Structure 1
Amino acid sequence: MSNEQKPADHGHAVGLIIFVLGLGTLLPWNFFITASQYFNERLAAPNTTSNGTSGSTSKDYNYDSWMALLSQLPLLLFTLLNSFLYQWVRERFRVAFSLVGIFLLFSLTAALVQVPMQPDAFFSITMATIWFINMFGAVLQGSLFGVVGLFPPRYSTLFMSGQGLAGIFAAVAMLSSILTKPDQSSAALGYFITPCVATLGTLLCYLLLPHLEFARFYLTRSQETSQELLSSTDKSIVNISEKELEAERTFISEPEERSSVLAVFKKIWLMALCVTCVFAVTLSVFPVITVRVRTVYRDNTVWDKVFTCVCCFIVFNVMDLVGRSTPSLLQWPSKESRLFPAAVLLRLVFIPLLMLCNIQDSNLTVFSHDSCFVIIMALFSFSNGYLASLCMAYAPQLVRSKDCETAGSLMTFFLVLGLAVGASFSFLLGKLV
Structure 2
Amino acid sequence: MSNENKPTDKGQAVALIIFVLGLGTLLPWNFFMTASQYFNGRLNNKSNSTSAATEDYNYDSWMALLSQLPLLLFTLLNSFLYQWVRERIRVAFSLIAILLFFSLTAALVTVPMQPGSFFSVTMATIWFINMFSAVLQGSLFGVVGLFPPRYSTLFMSGQGLAGLFAAVAMLFSILSNADENTAALGYFITPCVATLGTLVCYLLLPHLDFARFYLNRRQSDPAEEVSPLKEKEALNNNPIELEAKGISVSEPEERSSVLAVFKKIWKMALSVTCVFAVTLSVFPVITVRVQTVYKNPAWEKVFTCVCCFIVFNVMDLLGRSAPSVVQWPSKDSVLFPGAVLCRVAFIPLLMMCNIHNSNLNVFSHDCIFVIIMALFSFSNGYLASLCMAYAPQFVRSKDCETAGSLMTFFLVLGLALGASFSFLLGKLV
User: Which whole-Å CA distance do the structure 1 matches of 2:81 and 2:164 have between them?
Assistant: 31
| Kept in 1: contact 2:79–2:405 (CA 8 A) | no
| Kept in 2: contact 1:46–1:59 (CA 8 A) | no
User: Which whole-Å CA distance do the structure 1 matches of 2:221 and 2:391 have between them?
Assistant: 29
After superposition, residues 3-402 of structure 1 pair within 5 angstroms as 9-46=9-46, 53-56=50-53, 58-149=54-145, 151=147, 153-212=149-208, 215=211, 234-243=231-240, 245=242, 252=250, 261=259, 265=263, 271-301=268-298, 303-327=299-323, 328-332=325-329, 335-337=332-334, 340-392=336-388
User: Which whole-Å CA distance do the structure 1 matches of 2:284 and 2:229 have between them?
Assistant: 56
What is the match of residue 417 of structure 1? 413
Give per-residue Cα distances to partners, 1:372-395, cap 9 Å, x unaligned: 110111111122223334444566
User: Which whole-Å CA distance do the structure 2 matches of 1:4 and 1:395 have between them?
Assistant: 27
Quote the offset at 1:291 in angstroms: 1.0
| Kept in 1: contact 2:152–2:389 (CA 8 A) | no
| Kept in 2: contact 1:14–1:209 (CA 8 A) | yes
User: Which whole-Å CA distance do the structure 2 matches of 1:204 and 1:184 have between them?
Assistant: 31
| Kept in 1: contact 2:255–2:398 (CA 8 A) | no
Give 5+ residue unaligned stretches, structure 1: none
| Kept in 1: contact 2:146–2:397 (CA 8 A) | no
Quote the offset at 1:102 in angstroms: 0.9
Quote the offset at 1:134 in angstroms: 1.0
User: Which whole-Å CA distance do the structure 2 matches of 1:364 and 1:329 have between them?
Assistant: 37
In structure 2, relative to structure 1, the CA distance for the partners of 1:223 and 1:329 (3 Å cut) is closer
| Kept in 2: contact 1:268–1:395 (CA 8 A) | yes
Between the two proteins, the alignment pairs up a number of residues equal to: 425
User: Which whole-Å CA distance do the structure 1 matches of 2:395 and 2:89 have between them?
Assistant: 35
Quote the offset at 1:133 in angstroms: 0.7
Quote the offset at 1:308 in angstroms: 1.2
Quote the offset at 1:73 in angstroms: 1.8
Quote the offset at 1:324 in angstroms: 2.8
Quote the offset at 1:348 in angstroms: 2.4
In structure 2, relative to structure 1, the CA distance for the partners of 1:250 and 1:360 (3 Å cut) is farther
User: Which whole-Å CA distance do the structure 1 matches of 2:380 and 2:353 have between them?
Assistant: 19
| Residue type at the aligned position of 2:40 | N
166-175 or 76-85, which deviates more? 76-85
In structure 2, relative to structure 1, the CA distance for the partners of 1:88 and 1:241 (3 Å cut) is closer
User: Which whole-Å CA distance do the structure 2 matches of 1:260 and 1:86 have between them?
Assistant: 11
| TM-score (ref. length: structure 2) | 0.84
Give per-residue Cα distances to partners, 1:347-405, cap 9 Å, x unaligned: 222222212222234343222221111011111112222333444456667x5758974
Give per-residue Cα distances to partners, 1:244-265, cap 9 Å, x unaligned: 6569897746987969837954
Give per-residue Cα distances to partners, 1:277-297, cap 9 Å, x unaligned: 222111111011111112222
Quote the offset at 1:40 in angstroms: 2.1
User: Which whole-Å CA distance do the structure 2 matches of 1:83 and 1:363 have between them?
Assistant: 44
User: How many percent of aligned residue pairs carry the same amino acid?
Assistant: 74
Give 5+ residue unaligned stretches, structure 2: none
33-42 or 2-11, which deviates more? 2-11
Quote the offset at 1:141 in angstroms: 2.1
Quote the offset at 1:407 in angstroms: 5.9
In structure 2, relative to structure 1, the CA distance for the partners of 1:21 and 1:184 (3 Å cut) is same
Give per-residue Cα distances to partners, 1:130-182, cap 9 Å, x unaligned: 11111111222233334445555544443332222111111111112222244
In structure 2, relative to structure 1, the CA distance for the partners of 1:430 and 1:246 (3 Å cut) is farther
Indicate the SS of the match to 1:82: helix
Indicate the SS of the match to 1:172: helix
Indicate the SS of the match to 1:238: helix
248-257 or 82-91, which deviates more? 248-257
| Kept in 1: contact 2:109–2:185 (CA 8 A) | yes
| Kept in 2: contact 1:335–1:394 (CA 8 A) | no
User: Which whole-Å CA distance do the structure 1 matches of 2:92 and 2:403 have between them?
Assistant: 29
Identify which of structures 1 and 2 has the higher relative contact order when contacts are C-alpha pairs closer than 8 Å and 6+ apart. 2
In structure 2, relative to structure 1, the CA distance for the partners of 1:249 and 1:231 (3 Å cut) is closer
User: Which whole-Å CA distance do the structure 2 matches of 1:16 and 1:74 have between them?
Assistant: 29
| Residue type at the aligned position of 2:65 | L
Quote the offset at 1:417 in angstroms: 1.5
Quote the offset at 1:110 in angstroms: 1.2
244-253 or 361-370, which deviates more? 244-253
Give per-residue Cα distances to partners, 1:75-102, cap 9 Å, x unaligned: 2222232244334433333222211211
User: Which whole-Å CA distance do the structure 2 matches of 1:313 and 1:130 have between them?
Assistant: 20
> What CA RMSD, in Å, does the superposition of the two structures yield over aligned residues?
3.6
In structure 2, relative to structure 1, the CA distance for the partners of 1:360 and 1:214 (3 Å cut) is same
| Kept in 2: contact 1:78–1:139 (CA 8 A) | yes
User: Which whole-Å CA distance do the structure 2 matches of 1:184 and 1:243 have between them?
Assistant: 80
Quote the offset at 1:225 in angstroms: 8.3
| Residue type at the aligned position of 1:300 | P
Give per-residue Cα distances to partners, 1:188-244, cap 9 Å, x unaligned: 221111101111222222334445555556556866989x95976542213445336
